[in-house]
Structure 1
Amino acid sequence: MTEKLINLMEIINDFMWTYFLIGLIIVVGLYFTISTKFVQFIYIKEMFRLIAEKPIKDTKGQQKGVSAFQAFTISAASRVGTGTIAGVAIAIALGGPGSVLWMWIVALFGGASSFAESALAQVYKVRDRKGVFRGGPAYYMEKGLGQKWMGVLFAIVISITYGFAFNSVQTNTIAQSLAIYNIDTKIVGIALLVLTIFVIFGGVTKIVKITQWLVPIMALIYLLIVLVIMIINFDKIPGLISQIFKSAFGLEQVAGGTIGLATSILLGVKRGMFTNEAGLGSTPNAAATADSTHPAKQGFIQTLGVYFDTCLVCTATAFLILLYPGIEYGNGKLQGIQLTQVALTSQIGSIGTIFLIVAIFLFGYSSVVGNYYYGETNIQYLIPKKWAVNVYRVFCCIFVYLGSVADLNIVWGAADITMGIMALLNLIAIVGLSSVVYVVLKDYVKQKKLGKDPVFYLDNLPIKLNNVDCWKNKPKENK
């Protein structure tokens, strides 16, 4: 039964990703890159400035809503998860070194798509019954495109993808990392279940507090260790980079197995999309929570998150694995987190295995928290009732356990299928709303050139935006 299910998932995945999704992801990324005049490259300095921008405060000096940095860490908690450690290892093991280049390509051009979707999320965000900002693709599909059916479909798919499929991947990887010590996956699943119940029933405030501190610390420690390893092996780095480029274009067959060019591209794009989420439609849910003076600000900040994930964390993992001399490409026994564990242990000894277990728990668990928040936002869109959120929380907890004990190929296969459907819907939507993206960016740039801290007013725009709840016209005294 398990083998038949895996085969069915492979057929569906190959069809979706090979015949239209890969091309669509790259074409949309190029479209926004050119039409916004390379927004993801020329405003990098502005991205770093905005990430440190002070949160907006009310008249009493209290922080209003979620700050730009907190929104960034919520999205980073989902991005910088087990995909950056286990997902990269799977891509390289099955797709060869060339898959790394395709991850980079997805990130570089996907940065423009990320700007578009996050800016749109800010434009069409709403306040819920508690006064908290919420938004995302479901909201701009309904309010911006006028396609409520599309928003409902997306909300259903993302709730399943993040609350169930992606969280299963995270907890499966945590359980697999402990398999080296023969710890029963059922025990791991129960422990993760208890922790998840504690966190998600605590509400969004706890989610923000946890992710704000966990993500930067765990990522920096991991990057520092890999950086030291790369310095020690500095003489090998040029050869690895050459191997990545040659393998990416089929110019060199890797040792230990024959990897087809199509497989390299397929695995690189899928794992790249899984980790950096550019254009996927997930990070807009976090971007919408920020209390910002201009929608473009979250567009810039979330684009920086794409680079942080892929160009730093994923690249560090890739170099670590490629330095391991015992890697087998194609159908090797070691894949996923266990390959990364062996690669790290070969460099720093047995302490590497212990460190990676701790790291993968922090990466994976923070992703469970971030993923749940995306699902909750969309459940609120579908059924804005407390009972609906509580039911969703229960099912999320169930899948945290099921993911821990399930077959690796099943959880990754399910994640790829639901992720593909999400990407398809979202990419169509942001292209349909591209005119809104352009006027938002132009308004921001115009105000910056005048030396202002950009503030978004609807009547400053050359087009009329309908169904916008949280942005107003310029006050009369400022006109």
Structure 2
Amino acid sequence: MTLLEDFIGSINDVLWSYVLIIVLIGLGLLFTIKTGFVQFRNLPEMFRVMFEKDQPTNKKKRGITSFQAFAISAASRVGTGNLAGVATAVAVGGPGALFWMWLIALLGAASGFVESTLAQIYKVPDKEDQYRGGPAYYMEKGLNNRLLGVIFAITITFTYGLVFNSVQSNTISLAFSGGFEVNQNIMAAVLAVLTAAVIFGGLKSIAKVAQIIVPVLAIIYIAMALFILLINISAVPEMFALIFANAFGLREVAGGGFGAAIMMGIKRGLFSNEAGMGSVPNAAATASVSHPVKQGFIQALGVFFDTILICSATGFIIISAGGYAGSDLDGIQLTQNAFAAHIGEWSEMFIAIAIFLFAYSSILGNYYYGESNIGYIKESPVALFIYRIAVIAMVVFGSVAAFDFVWALADLTMAIMALINLYAITKLYKIAHRALQDYRRQRKEGKSNPVFYRDVLDDESGVDYWERERE
């Protein structure tokens, strides 16, 4: 497998050292400016619409709530990227990698807003009183390019349903090996059974599980992290100074660490928050809302929730514990060691349980992205059954595979998927911006529940679901 690893690694070096860094930061900055800094200006509105009892325009109740759609996307976001990914970024790129994770989240939230708003605009109802949508749909309906939509659908199905799920199971396996000395083969069998039990239950089953697991677990994990920071409060100013010095320091530039900090921060930041990658819109499209912009707000908030809160907490704990540079430990085991250094060896077991629940919820969210896109290509019970079996097989594979290989494969497929989606949302940006202007206008007029009609768009072709105001 060494030749394959070397080949994948050489492609990743080109994509992540040059292409993705320029595209992600450049487009994130462009969307931020064009939308009038939507991710900052509309932050209070994001919290307001998160929990409001929405009144969709259609009388027939379809889809799931905004919060459930947020939970599904958070289930995919909050996982190994927050615990294992951050550890790897700091170990390889140094503390400065955390700064670049923040930057890609702050700018990427604007990209996340655009892609999720487009997903709502171009969503379609399905036969099960749900909605489907996402990049494949807005590529076909907005760009009039079904071929590109099919290519994206295949890419995201392979990336999330198969490759990313092997990363999640790999991290669970390593965590339980370190925390409980559980054999990797046993973990493979356990994960296979638990995954099969939920994914054969459908979207509503996934939404219910994610809605319970993610918020509770995130609160517990953040509380633990805050406790550790409080008992080490005197070291916080020095830690921030170290992060910024490492992110821009001349010593890091001379030694090559500057490039490593940027690349690892952006690479692991994107893996964690998924802003602009094209995954979250699949969940955003399932929500039942009165205006597409509402779900754009909620998913932009999810980027902050993931990176600014959870990734930062993990990074602070690892940096303050020290010992990460040159460590032989893999990903999640670095995080376990950092917790153990602060509050005792018992915490290694806590992290093993936490990563199990984080990563397991990610497996469920990842699975849905593939299911949705298989349905886009062709409604086929046989294809869906084969996909479910393949998901379970990759969960087993990831549990016993080498750490470096599964992460390298994830980086490659993630880069390809992101480039396809970023091209599409750049072409369709004006549609999302027009919807944002409409929403802001209605809120300025005093309307607490803005309603979207497709005739406010300059080009409403391909928009099938939303009514015309004059009808």
RMSD: 1.7
- Which whole-Å CA distance do the structure 2 matches of 1:138 and 1:307 have between them? 25
Aligned counterpart, 1:423: 418
Match of 1:148 in 2: 146
1:252: Cα distance to partner? Answer: 4.4
- Which residue of structure 1 lines up, in the alignment, with residue 81 of structure 2? 83
In structure 1, distance between residues paired with 2:58 and 2:229: 50
2:15 and 2:68 map into 1 onto residues whose CA distance is 34
Aligned residue among 330, 333, 346 for 2:328:
333
Q: Structure 1 residues 259, 243: CA separation in 2 closer, same or farther (over 3 Å shift)? A: farther
Quote the residue 1:260 is aligned against. Answer: 257
Is the deviation greater in 409-418 or in 383-392?
Answer: 383-392
CA contact (8 A) 1:66 1:291 kept: yes
Shift of 1:6: 2.1
CA contact (8 A) 2:62 2:131 kept: no
CA contact (8 A) 1:56 1:64 kept: no
Q: Which residue number in structure 1 is paired with residue 389 of structure 2?
A: 394
Partner of 1:373: 368
Q: Does 1:456 align with 2:452?
A: yes
Question: How far, CA to CA, are the matches of 1:12 and 1:184 in structure 2?
Answer: 33
Q: Judging changes above 3 Å, is the alpha-carbon distance between structure 1 residues 363 and 201 closer, same or farther for their aligned structure 2 residues? A: same
**Cα deviations by residue, 1:92-147 (Å, 9 ceiling, x for unpaired):** 00110111000000000001000000000000001122231000000001100111
The 2-side partners of 1:386 and 1:127 are apart by 18
Deviation at 1:58, TM superposition (A): 10
Aligned to 1:304: 301
Amino acid at match of 1:127: P
Distance in 2 (CA, whole Å) between partners of 1:41 and 1:58 is 28
Cα deviations across residues 292-336 of structure 1 (Å, max 9, x unaligned)?
A: 1000000000000000000000000000100113222xx421230
User: 1:149 & 1:80 partners in 2: Cα distance?
Assistant: 31
* SS of alignment partner, residue 49 of structure 1: helix
Which one-letter code corresponds to 2:323 in the other structure? G
2:294 is the alignment partner of 1:292? no
Shift of 1:435: 1.1
1:65 CA displacement: 2.0
Residues 440-451 of structure 1 aligned to structure 2 (within 5 Å): 440-451=435-446
In 2: Cα distance, 1:278 partner to 1:268 partner: 14
Query: What's the offset of the Cα at 1:30?
Result: 0.7
Aligned residues: 469
Aligned residue for 1:280, secondary structure, equals coil
Contact 1:95–1:259 (8 Å) recurs in 2:
no
Preserved CA contact (<8 Å) 1:55 1:64: no
1:207-237 alpha-carbon deviations (Å, 9 max, x no partner) = 0100001000000000000101101101101
| 1:402-436 superposed Cα distances (whole Å, 9 cap, x missing partner) | 01000001110010000000110011100000110
Instruction: For residue 157 of structure 2, give the secondary structure of its aligned residue in structure 1.
Output: helix
What SS does the aligned partner of 1:281 have?
coil
Cα offset for 1:251? 3.2
Moved more, 339-348 or 382-391: 382-391
Structure 2 contact 252–258 (Cα < 8 Å) conserved: no
Cα deviation digits, residues 254-274 of structure 1 (max 9, x gap): 9xxx65211111110000000
Following the alignment from structure 1 to structure 2, what is the Cα–Cα distance between the partners of residues 459 and 466?
Answer: 10
Residue in structure 1 matched with residue 184 of structure 2 by the alignment: 185
Equivalent residue of 1:267, what SS? helix
Residues 56 and 290 of structure 2 are in contact (CA less than 8 Å); yes or no, is this contact kept in structure 1? no
CA distance in 2: counterparts of 1:252 and 1:135, whole angstroms: 47
Aligned twin of 2:5: 6
CA 259–216 in structure 1, closer or farther in 2 if over 3 Å, else same: farther
- Mapping of 1:54-93 within 5 angstroms? 54-56=53-55, 64-93=62-91
Moved over 6 A (4+): 57-60
1:41-440 equivalences in 2 (<5 Å): 41-56=40-55, 64-180=62-178, 181-253=180-252, 260-328=257-325, 331-440=326-435
Letter of the 1:416 counterpart? D
What code does the residue aligned with 1:219 have?
Answer: A
> Contact between 1:112 and 1:303, CA under 8 Å: does it hold in 2?
yes
Question: Cα distance 1:113–1:417, how it changes in 2: closer, same or farther (>3 A)?
Answer: same
Give the SS at the match of 1:85.
helix
TM-score normalized with structure 2 length: 0.97
Read off the aligned partner of 1:295 and give its amino acid letter. Answer: P
C-alpha separation between the residues in 1 aligned to 2:88 and 2:58?
Answer: 51
Higher deviation after alignment, 8-17 or 291-300: 8-17
Report the Cα distance in structure 2 between the residues aligned to 1:191 and 1:281, rounded to whole angstroms: 30
C-alpha separation in 2, matches of 1:369 and 1:209:
11
2:240 and 2:450 map into 1 onto residues whose CA distance is: 41
Contact 1:159–1:378 (Cα < 8 Å) also in 2: yes
Task: Return 245-254 or 64-73, whichever deviates more.
Answer: 245-254
| Aligned residue identity for 1:178 | F
Q: Please identify, of 273-282 and 123-132, the stretch whose mean Cα deviation from structure 2 is larger.
A: 123-132
Alignment-mate amino acid for residue 421 of structure 1: I
Higher mean alpha-carbon deviation, 285-294 vs 386-395, is at: 386-395
What is the TM-score with the length of structure 1 in the denominator?
0.95
Instruction: Assess if the C-alpha contact under 8 Å between 1:240 and 1:319 holds in 2.
Output: yes
Distance 1:102 1:59 in 2: 42
Match of 1:317, SS state, is: helix
Shift of 1:182: 3.0
Single out whichever of 98-107 and 465-474 deviates more from structure 2: 465-474
Q: Aligned residues: percent identity?
A: 51
What is the Cα deviation at residue 64 of structure 1?
A: 3.8
